[in-house]
Amino acid sequence: MKKVVRKDDSNNNGSHTNSSSTVTRVTYGECQKNHAANIGGYAVDGCREFLASGEEGTEAAFTCACCGCHRSFHRREVQTEVVSDSSSSN
């Protein structure tokens, strides 16, 4: 699973401190590669979730350990969460 955290402190002013963080998680679901495309059919292999064959940062991280397909054949799921912290000094 890939996790990205972004922090934005650009909305600061004298009496209020606004800070927000955006947490984005990217996961890859079932394989959508059509293995029968070359004969005019439609058949998927049934792989339900992408599992990387190697460590993050290596070429093997893009190959699924279950089905052997590239990560791009798997359905991409993006989950974004925004956490906002507000405080005021009176």
- What band does 1 get if pLDDT is binned at 50, 70 and 90? low
The model's pTM? 0.66
- What band does 8 get if pLDDT is binned at 50, 70 and 90? low
Q: For 34-57, write each residue's pLDDT tens digit.
A: 999 999 999 999 999 999 999 999
For the chain, domain boundaries: 2-8+20-85
pLDDT at 85: 72
Strand partners, 82: 22
- Show the tokens assigned to 80: 């974004």
Smallest Cα–Cα separation from 86: which of 19, 2, 25, 10?
19
**C-alpha–C-alpha distance, residues 17 and 72, integer Å:** 41
**C-alpha–C-alpha distance, residues 11 and 9, integer Å:** 6
